[in-house]
Amino acid sequence: MTKSSAGKTMLNPFGVTMVEDYEHLYEEFGIQPFKPLLTQISNPSAAMRRGVIFGHRDFKRVLDAMKNREEFAVMSGIKPTGEFHLGTLMTAREVIYFQQQGGTAFYCIADIEAYEDNRISFERSQKYAVGNVADLLALGFDPKKGYIYQQSKEQRVKDLAIAFARGVTLATMKAIYGERHMGLYISALIQAGDILLPQLEDFGGPKPTVVPVGVDQDPHLRLTRDLAFKFRRRYNFIPPSSTYHKLIKALDGSPKMSKRDPMSYFTLEEKPGVISKKISNAFTGGKPTAEEQRRLGADPDVCPLYDLYLFHFFERDEDVAKLYTNECKGGKILCGEDKERLTKIVLDFLKEHQRKRRQYIDKAREILEVE
């Protein structure tokens, strides 16, 4: 858990994350702004172009590998505590983007963390994992150019965690994560093992590796970069790089979706009626009356539905810009009308996604070696 000096920003991978102002993260947390790199990327993703990916650590190293067509890896994953939601969708799309740019992709099913952080048994998380992997494949992950694995079954990750345990003290873990039970400290070391797995000899040895994550995961990156440095003689690790995306607002307007409140988000497996209801009940940045909204415009910056368009559901950047400036701020659309439009786009996307996902369930079972 990392807190800003004023205490208004808190990055906590095991709990509540608050970001008052993403710009502050540059000065206070040493995260680098992503925007200056944008012109050097020949084929930036929508999230990069739209500023959803706002920061990085050491991404230049990966960018150089991309430009020079050299070997690099992308590594991220999911905690299998339920169905894919909009936050995990974001990370999956980023992994797939880097895979399509030539990276070898590693996708971890973080079942040890699901157990330690959320008390989900391995048996239960395995059921979720099958669906999660089917989602990943349906979104375009190519298993021939990647490695999908469960933490609990990947001995090399556990071996790395055991080795890394000699490199940290309890005081360091408390400074990074706050006072926690030992299981969470162990799962943080396991995550360090995940992040550095692509650099083991079994996978071709040291290479630039990018970890695309939500900014709440930055404490894991700081720990892992430190461990990569400490264990450089033994493993020759290159410190991992990261990109950070903003956190998508919850449907009630709060800063981050929470699995503890099912009305604050939706999953990719939800029924159309439930999706419609959740979008219809969502908070917006609208004005109390239609007349005021037409006259004064609404506020997309506080609106979770604007985030949905920005992060996921408008394919064209022009449509995002038009919604922000003209339709929303300019009072050209009312929130009710916008909710109807968004519901249709989301339902069309999910219908197609769920169709593809069903086709990948057997493949997901095969990859995870589930009967």
- Residue closer to ligand SF4 by CB (options 175, 296) is 296
Q: Which of 75, 92, 228, 333 binds ligand SF4 (CB under 6 A)?
A: 333
What tokens appear for 282 in the block? 């969502």
DSSP character for 29? H
In angstroms, how far is CA 220 from the centroid of its own chain? Answer: 13
Contact region for ligand SF4 (CB under 6 A) — 120-128, 173-181, 226-234, 302-310?
Answer: 302-310
> Does 286 sit near ligand SF4 (CB under 6 A)?
yes
- Residue closer to ligand SF4 by CB (options 239, 300) is 300
Burial zone of 332 (CB within 10 Å; 0-12 exposed, 13-18 middle, 19+ buried): middle
Q: Report the b/e string of 55-87 with b at 16+ CB within 10 A.
A: bbbbbebbbebbeeeeebbbbbbbbbbbbbbbb
Q: Which of positions 34-73 make contact with ligand SF4 (CB under 6 A)?
A: none
What tokens appear for 120 in the block? 């989900």
Contact region for ligand SF4 (CB under 6 A) — 47-55, 63-71, 261-269, 333-341?
Answer: 333-341
What tokens appear for 299 in the block? 């506020």
- Residue closer to ligand SF4 by CB (options 130, 257) is 257
> Does 135 sit near ligand SF4 (CB under 6 A)?
no
> Does 346 sit near ligand SF4 (CB under 6 A)?
no
Helix (H, G, I), strand (E, B) or coil at 42: coil
Q: How many residues bind to ligand SF4 according to rule CB under 6 A? A: 12
> Does 338 sit near ligand SF4 (CB under 6 A)?
yes
> Does 212 sit near ligand SF4 (CB under 6 A)?
no
- Residue closer to ligand SF4 by CB (options 102, 253) is 253
Reduced to 3 DSSP states, what percent helix, strand and coil does the chain have, rounded to the nearest 5?
A: 55, 10, 30
- Residue closer to ligand SF4 by CB (options 66, 335) is 335
The Cα–Cα gap between 359 and 339 comes to 30
Interacting residues toward ligand SF4 by CB under 6 A: 284-286, 298, 300, 303, 305-306, 328, 333, 335, 338
